[in-house]
Amino acid sequence: MIPFSKEDEHVAKLAISLSLACGFNSKMAGLIGDAAALHDCGKVKVPEYIINKPGRLSLDEMEIMKTHTIWGAYILSELREELRMIAVNIVAFHHEKWDGSGYWGYRGGVIPYYCQIVSICDMYVALTANRPYKEPWPPSEAMEYIKSNAGKTFCPKLVRTFLGCYQLQFAQVFNLSQRDPLTEKSQSFIMESVEVKQLKIQDERMSIP
């Protein structure tokens, strides 16, 4: 089955909240959250020594890491139709940057807006998480980093919306002990709609079509 971590769940919850703030209706926000929970599923095809490397990746290792977006799109191509396009786009585009300096060079409005939403949420969670190569950043520093990358990594308008959402409601999303309506709704979207347990990953030796 396709696994997702607590960090993936955090990304999904933030993506739902930010999607609603950007004007998506609740159904679409839920689909974006479903897909966001699986945005890094392609990493099951990346060797663990690269995933867990404590230092900077070499150029060759980085090229291997980039393939997790391709693998993820391939794996999620088996999703139910309603979710498939959104999920495949999110795993394929979530490392693209507003200025075109991301994995595959897509820029600006070419990147689907809901993919940009997941990208900024993923960045916040990654910065504030403990990783083999870094200590977790304080939330305030993570927000300053995102703010400083408006117009470079992220769409300036989306950054403004993200900052506004953080002030209003993101803090409660991360309080996992508080069973607020947003948390309950997010968990329902992730656990019921995605049907993670029914998705089987192909043999490790298969090649990318």
Q: Report which of 98, 115, 154, 93 is spatially closest to residue 32, judged by C-alpha positions.
A: 115
To the nearest 10°, the Cα dihedral for 167, 7, 157, 145?
A: 80
Q: Under a CB-based contact definition with an 8 Å cutoff, are residues 5 and 39 in contact?
A: no
Q: CA 157, CA 173: separation in Å to the nearest integer?
A: 22
**Which residue among 13, 43, 45, 97 is the active-site one?**
43
Q: CA 156, CA 207: separation in Å to the nearest integer?
A: 38
Rounded to the nearest angstrom, the gap between the alpha carbon of residue 191 and the centroid of all alpha carbons in its chain is: 17
Q: Which tokens belong to 205?
A: 């030796």
For 21, residues 6+ apart whose C-beta sits below 8 A from its C-beta are 161, 164, 165
The secondary structure of residue 77, as a DSSP letter, is G
Amino acid, single-letter form, for residue 131: R
**Residue 43 among the catalytic residues:** yes
| Ordered DSSP codes for 36-74 | HTTTTGGGGGS-HHHHT-SSPPPHHHHHHHHHHHHHHHH
For 179, residues 6+ apart whose C-beta sits below 8 A from its C-beta are none
Provide the annotated active-site residues.
Answer: 43
